[in-house]
Amino acid sequence: MKVGLLTGGGDCPGLNAVIRAVARRSFSRGHEVVGVREGWRGLVDGIFEPLGGSEISGLLPRGGTILGTSRTNPYKLDGGVEAVLERFAAEGFDALVAIGGEDTLGVAARLHAEHDLPVVGVPKTIDNDLSGTDYTFGFDTAVTIATEAIDRLHTTAESHNRVMVVEVMGRHAGWIAVMSGIAGGADVILIPEQPVDYDDVVEGIRKRHARGKNFSIVVVSEGCDLPGIEDTGEVDAFGHVTLSHRGVGEVLGREIEERTGFETRVTVLGHVQRGGSPTPRDRVLATRYGLKAAELAYTGQFGQMAALRGDDIVAVSLEEATAELKTVPPEWYAVAQAFFG
């Protein structure tokens, strides 16, 4: 068998661990593994890289992706889908393992449904917003980095009697904010799934000060709909609004300082959350996903994605996994809320 492997969308820690696991399992079965460079762009343009023992050596702890990535959407390019199908056939691939989030896997689901492309998926994203799986790999590392940042901001906030606003990623889902905020003991957490009322935020901070706590930590998700923020309308190839220029943290910090009179500082964690080595949990999850994906390809279970359900790695359909975003349910937000103010 000749197995193609691609990583698409925003990178995240653990991608290389999946590549290693797919390759190791495939080699042990005598299969050939070929890397497709830079996500779907590599299949549109035919940029391939054979993977052997030396290419996959040392990958387990390594961040980023050795295959490169892009947000190329073949459905948005003239002749893009035809090019993918032709290159796939010309290269003699028997199966493709697509490692990505809702966009990359959404393309995989469509190519499978519409053109019978023999593809299987692996759920990646720091945002943890893919349905069909309990967790995506990359998320635990992002939460770990954000939690460490919150811990560090606590000590300096306390020394200076300041309010610290921390802006985290997550796009339209508040998972990183909620999990790192709970783990870091944040006093206010704002996420896209919940309406933001500045009066409530300010009241929470004032209440803390009234009981002698002269500092506060506020975690805000980049995708929050804050009064006073207007989107520029800038979108990527998948139609997603670019969130990094919205300045949610800055707007919120200014509002808090003006309304409370408490000195406020803002930290935007940005791509730090996506960089560096995966946590042990993500290494193990990525490895298990990679082995499952290789097995799905080997047994011809195309149109399926490796997924985590409880403690088990199972197969779910790509269609189900990409049908809708998995956002933070109210029960999870309630856990965080119990510690506000």
| Three-state SS at 152 | helix
Q: Which is nearer to ligand F6P, 152 or 271 (CB)?
A: 271
- If one asks whether residue 274 binds ligand F6P (CB under 6 A), the answer comes out as yes
Which DSSP helix (H) or strand (E) runs through 26? helix 15-28
> How far is Cα 308 from Cα 187, in angstroms, rounded to an integer?
31
Considering only 5, 6, 7, 10, the residue that binds ligand F6P (CB under 6 A) is: 10
Nearest residue by C-beta to ligand F6P? 169
Distance from C-alpha of 242 to C-alpha of 248, rounded to nearest angstrom: 12
CA distance 101 to 293: 15
Question: What is the pattern of x (binds ligand F6P, CB under 6 A) and - over residues 196-235?
Answer: --------------------------x-------------
Size of the site for ligand F6P (CB under 6 A): 12
Q: Is the CB of 212 or the CB of 233 nearer to ligand F6P?
A: 233
Residue placing its CB nearer to ligand F6P in the complex, 23 or 266: 266
Token pair for 50: 């054979």
Q: What would the two tokens of residue 122 be? A: 């692996």
Nearer to ligand F6P, 121 or 303 (CB): 121
Q: Is 298 exposed, middle or buried (0-12, 13-18, 19+ CB in 10 A)?
A: middle
Cα angle 72-321-111, degrees, rounded to a multiple of 5 = 45
- Does 100 bind ligand F6P (CB under 6 A)? Our answer is no
- Catalytic residue selected from 11, 45, 94, 127: 127
Q: Tell me the closest approach of the beta carbon of residue 62 to ligand F6P, in angstroms.
A: 19
Residue 170 as a binder of ligand F6P (CB under 6 A): the answer is yes
* 103 classed as catalytic: no
When asked if residue 169 is in the footprint of ligand F6P (CB under 6 A), the reply is yes
d(CA 42, CA 69): 9
Measured from the CB atom, the residue of 155 and 244 that comes closer to ligand F6P is 244
CA–CA distance, 118 with 173 (Å, rounded to integer): 30
End-to-end CA distance of the chain: 58
- Nearest distance in Å: CB 186, ligand F6P: 18
Q: Which residues bind ligand F6P (CB under 6 A)?
A: 10, 101, 125-127, 169-171, 222, 243-244, 274
Catalytic (active-site) positions: 127
